[in-house]
Amino acid sequence: MNKEDRDMADSATAARIKAALERAADIDLHHNRIDVIGGSDIRLEGEVSNIAVKRRALQIARELANGKVEDRLLLRVERKRVDSELLQAVLDALTSEPVFRDFVIRPRQGDAPPEQRDWIEVDVDGPRVRLYGQAWSLSHRRLAEILAWWVPGTADVDNRIRVQPAEQDNDAEISDAVRLVLDKDPSLDAEQIRITTRNGEVYLQGTVTSDVNRRMADYDCWYIPGVHKVHNDLQVRSSRY
């Protein structure tokens, strides 16, 4: 295939992805700006309202592109921070988490700390946060990403932390990560939520105190790498006086 044919194929793929995004009710392009850029790899750019939209748009694009899709979508943030402020806020979030007490956590330096097995480095470019380093479990890798997402001002997280020794991901690992994240979310009573994962799809059952908390539980699941879909069957219980 020559360059002209490749360009035509890329344009056609980009058009199919755009059309699929327009049809997807959970994407809502009237309130979320997503540009589909053709080329050697498809690229998604723009700004969306929440993590669920970002993850779903990327899933749709990858299914139709049959190849790599570069994710450049940003979450819409209420609080914008300069790079140094956001960097320090992410470092503070990681260092204050007891799970990481034995980790070396620092700004990006590019080389592993001497005689230290577990470490995390943070780099910030505008509202984008990049995580580097090495962790001994998938749960640690996932939690680091969640904490970075939760920092006000973060619009994207690129998680490049390696797990050593390598672990095989599975549904039980994802359920454990969801449980850990819901336990850490102060807005939720995680004991009232039952979690099941099948083939990367998370099922939530139980009760929450408000529609806002129901939505936050949904977002918490989507922040977790490896989650393909969230079935949110949480019920809002009435307050009793």
Instruction: Dump pLDDT digits (tens) for 149-159.
Output: 999 999 999 99
In this structure, is the dihedral angle defined by the CA atoms of residues 188, 95, 110 and 45, taken in order, positive or negative?
A: positive
In this structure, whether the domain defined by 171-236 belongs to CATH 3.90.470.10 is answered with no
Candidate CATH numbers 3.30.2010, 3.30.1340, 1.10.357, 1.20.140; the one for domain 3-75: 3.30.1340
Query: Do 144 and 119 meet the contact criterion of CB atoms below 8 Å apart?
Result: no
DSSP letter, residue 82:
-
CATH class of the domain comprising 83-163: alpha beta
Q: Which long-range contacts (CB under 8 A, 24 or more apart) does 15-21 make?
A: 16/64, 17/42, 17/60, 17/61, 17/64, 17/65, 20/60, 20/64, 21/57, 21/60, 21/61
User: Rounded to whole angstroms, what are the CA distances from 228 to 17, 30, 163?
Assistant: 18, 24, 21
Q: What are the pLDDT digits (tens) for 214-234? A: 999 999 999 999 999 999 999
The structural domains of the chain, with segments of one domain joined by +, span: 3-75, 83-163, 171-236
Please give the pLDDT value at position 241: 42
Cα–Cα distance measured from residue 24 to residue 103, given in angstroms and rounded to the nearest whole number? 42
Q: Residue 178's closest CA among 123, 134, 129, 228?
A: 228
User: Rounded to whole angstroms, what are the CA distances from 54 to 43, 59, 69, 125, 154?
Assistant: 13, 9, 13, 19, 14
Question: Is 50 exceeded by the pLDDT of residue 197?
Answer: yes
Average the pLDDT over 167-188 and give the result: 93
Please give the pLDDT value at position 4: 47
Q: 83-163 with 171-236: one CATH topology?
A: yes
Query: Who contacts 63 (Cβ-Cβ below 8 Å, separation ≥6)?
Result: none
